[in-house]
Amino acid sequence: MMRQYELVERVMSYDPKADEHLLDRAYVYAMRAHGQQKRADGAPYFSHPLEVAAILTDLKLDDATIATALLHDVIEDTDTTRHEIDQLFGPEIGALVEGLTKIKKLDLVTKEAEQAENFRKLLVAISSDIRVLLVKLADRLHNMRTIEHKKPASRLRTSQETVDIYAPLAGLMGMQAMRDELEDHAFRWLHPEAYSTVSAKLAELRGRNEGLVAEIRSAVSAKLLDAGVVADVMGREKRPYAIWRKMENRQISLEQLSDIYGFRVIVHNEEDCYRVLGIAHRAWKMVPGRFKDYISVPKRNNYRSIHTTLVGPRAQRVELQIRTYEMHEVAEYGIAAHAIYKNGETPVAAVEGSPENGAAVINGHESHNPYFRLRHLVETLLEGSNSEEFLEHTKLELFHDQVFCFTPKGRLIALPRGATALDFAYAVHTDVGNAAVSAYVNGRRMPIDTRLRNGDEVQIMTSKTHRPPAAWEGFVVTGRARGAIRRIARDTVRQQYAELGRRLLMAAFERSGVTYSDDKVRRVLQRLNQKSLEDLLAAVARNEIDIAIVIRSVAPEAAVPSSGTSARKQRNRYDTVQNQEGWFNISKVVGLKFKLGGAAPAEPAPKLDNLPIRGVRSDVPVRYEQGGAVPGDRIVGVMTPSDGIRIFQIHSPRLQDYEHENWIDVTWDLDPENPSRFPAHIVVTAVNEPGSLAEIAQVIGTADGNIDNVKMVQRGADFTEMRIDLEVWDLAHLNQIIGGLRAKPVVSNVERIFE
């Protein structure tokens, strides 16, 4: 166990101005407070906060953060109070220790809703002062280093929490070395067989390629020395978890990976980085498609480096990373490398604004500081309307790789891989996304759902009258876009209900001989326990408030006809479920049709030339093709002489077999009292291990889906591809099942297919 003077000397070695007296007092106080407490391995409990402090000294953090690390468990595990910490060490350290205490009380691996709510609190806590996160990450790292002393169930729970939450947060903060170690420890316990297999394979390759790393390092150093470039060259072997994740994502064997061995060339300035790149490419063949310039376009965590893959000595593919010493420090330590935490400045004091895309101006220079990325992430995630949306958005924001695109004026927009032009629009600004209708990608007009690639220049076309349909949520990938579309959909449906409620009230008032006006109804809102007129009107439309009660509240003397039951019958008879195009068919009640995603029209809308489809029990001879059309999909009918109308999903490839003049515009018009299931087809790529099929079937069964058929095709030793024919209620039900499957660790990929 580290002695008191050793800890102080470590801090003073990189920060001579550190408060030595503060560190001494924190050391002694924590040691006495924990007293005779023991850890699971039998060691004195104080050894844990001391090791956490030691980890943070490797990151060269300030004295207040080191003192906080020593004290971080005293409120939780001893009789110490926040008031005592404030008195002895000041309110700054007191606030940090209390923030860590609150985080420790969270159980992040629980049911999904509880996990999401607890993670929301965690992010809010750490975004207020980044040092809380730094101490928490060091705390988790030491716990993972000694996790073998925990019970098996606790090991699994802590490891899953580490790989789901803390490792991605370390990556978001640019602390890649810490992320790698956290993931490796978690990988060892979560997937012991895979860990053993990968480790054994690496050992075999190490023996087969003995001396290869030293040979390549010497060859690179010699080439640079001949060119007069002063550089440090370091070789390394990739970690087991990083290798396993690439094998799983790409579905390839370890021998097929091109970057098991990595080398770093560290130079003094940026100009030398590009000189090294030229020397390396002239000396050895580069692998096409494996070059990335993160100096010109940094990652969102401020990571900067040049990556290239070469065919080096012994025909071995190796990854080469080229960076300056300053870039290397940021790459290794991330946010901990920033001077704003070492000069006595708070993050807020050092910042002059925080633009929407996450960039900030620090000490006069624009920076993509990961701290502001975190704050921006928290602001985005808190826009979710419920805990499940929050957790969904969190995973989207934390776990995706990135593509970098540009506005016409050259502004850089970083997006998750697979993002669309609509995601780009929302990244620019929420108002731009809400009004987006199409995009120009590299000068060509493209649909708003076009997937973007690195380097694309994107110009968004907007319309003042446009609002995104709810169906657009299905193709965006960022939490910001999904949240905005959901809010628009909720607000639009609410407006439609309010307008329907107003029409119902106007008709009922007229039958009672009372003139309706919004002002009259507003005067009785408090009596009816409603906050606003829109709330009341929507409640009337949803049959939550009897129309007769509203009339009596406005005009007690009015003769109220017994029409409430009749109105409910009309509402139940003519209100149909929302179809794919977003229309509520309530024309027989109020003479209107409303389109979801736009404002309610002031005048009755023209009658649509479409045919309502209720399924196989419809009066019209209808045949559903086996392509998997479900309510919520856009559908097309084809009139045939023999089969009547054949219904296809709009993306079905079989539609190409029919002339366009035979197509009929059809819409879903289902009976809510008699729901039906519809066929849908998905392809699931799962890990080839015992129990995988059972887990997949459990997800589908729990979500009330019905499996009609399963066909499995072997795709190698590690993965199995399954085609599953389902029966679902509608598109939302199908998406719920797909989302549940994608959340399972045994599932690599899920795609819906059309025939």
Q: What is the pLDDT of residues 131-190, one digit of tens each?
A: 888 898 999 999 999 999 888 888 998 898 888 778 888 887 778 888 899 999 999 999
Instruction: Give the per-residue pLDDT at 124.
Output: 62
Q: Is 687 helix (H, G, I), strand (E, B) or coil?
A: strand
By the 8 A CB rule, do 49 and 72 touch? yes
Query: What does the alpha-carbon distance between residue 197 and residue 479 come to, in Å, rounded to a whole number?
Result: 36
| 535 vs 642 pLDDT, higher one | 535
Tokens read off for 635: 């559908």
Q: Is 391 helix (H, G, I), strand (E, B) or coil?
A: helix
In the chain, what are the domains? 4-194 (1.10.3210.10), 200-337 (3.30.460.10), 400-466 (3.10.20.30), 486-579 (no CATH), 611-668 (no CATH), 678-753 (3.30.70.260)
- The residue length of the chain stands at 755
For residue 16, the tally of other CB atoms under 10 A from its CB is 8
Q: What is the pTM of this model?
A: 0.52
Q: Which of 113-117, 267-271, 352-356 has the lowest mean pLDDT?
A: 352-356
Instruction: Give the per-residue pLDDT at 186.
Output: 93
According to DSSP, residue 45 is labeled T
Query: What does the alpha-carbon distance between residue 474 and residue 745 come to, in Å, rounded to a whole number?
Result: 22
Q: Kindly state the average pLDDT of the residues 27-40.
A: 90
| 188 vs 126 pLDDT, higher one | 188
Instruction: Give the per-residue pLDDT at 356.
Output: 42
Whether the pLDDT of residue 527 is over 70: the answer is yes
pLDDT interval class at 617 (50, 70, 90): very low
Q: Is 685 helix (H, G, I), strand (E, B) or coil?
A: strand
Query: What does the alpha-carbon distance between residue 325 and residue 475 come to, in Å, rounded to a whole number?
Result: 41
Q: Which of 163-177, 465-479, 590-604 has the lowest mean pLDDT?
A: 590-604
For residue 738, the tally of other CB atoms under 10 A from its CB is 20
Q: How far is CA 142 from CA 6, 47, 182, in A?
A: 19, 10, 9
Query: What does the alpha-carbon distance between residue 31 and residue 8 come to, in Å, rounded to a whole number?
Result: 15
- CA quadruple 395, 401, 405, 411: dihedral positive or negative? positive
What DSSP string describes 425-465? Answer: HHHH-HHHHHHEEEEEETTEEE-TTPBP-TT-BEEEEE-TT
pLDDT interval class at 120 (50, 70, 90): low
Label residue 60 exposed, middle or buried (CB < 10 Å: 0-12, 13-18, 19+).
Answer: middle
Q: Kindly state the average pLDDT of the residues 528-547.
A: 83
pLDDT interval class at 106 (50, 70, 90): low
Closest by CA position to 536, among listed 580, 493, 497:
497
pLDDT interval class at 199 (50, 70, 90): confident
264: phi then psi, degrees, rounded to nearest 5:
-115, 130
Whether the pLDDT of residue 306 is over 60: the answer is yes
Query: What does the alpha-carbon distance between residue 744 and residue 6 come to, in Å, rounded to a whole number?
Result: 46
HSE, side-chain direction, 13 A CA sphere, residue 690: 1
| 41 vs 293 pLDDT, higher one | 293
Q: Kindly state the average pLDDT of the residues 86-95.
A: 90
Q: Where are the beta strands (DSSP E) in 13-168?
A: none
Query: What does the alpha-carbon distance between residue 220 and residue 746 come to, in Å, rounded to a whole number?
Result: 41
Q: Is 266 helix (H, G, I), strand (E, B) or coil?
A: strand
Tokens read off for 65: 């953060």
Query: What does the alpha-carbon distance between residue 381 and residue 392 come to, in Å, rounded to a whole number?
Result: 9
- Residues assigned a catalytic role: 76-77
Q: How far is CA 54 from CA 39, 58, 169, 184, in A?
A: 18, 7, 20, 20
Query: What does the alpha-carbon distance between residue 274 and residue 276 come to, in Å, rounded to a whole number?
Result: 5
Whether the pLDDT of residue 358 is over 60: the answer is no
pLDDT interval class at 376 (50, 70, 90): low
pLDDT interval class at 567 (50, 70, 90): very low
By the 8 A CB rule, do 616 and 483 touch? no
Tokens read off for 697: 């079937």
Instruction: Give the per-residue pLDDT at 308.
Output: 92
Portion of the chain with pLDDT greater than 70, in percent: 73
What DSSP string describes 164-209? Answer: IIIHHHHHHTT-HHHHHHHHHHHHHHHSHHHHHHHHHHHHHHHHHT
Tokens read off for 43: 């060691």
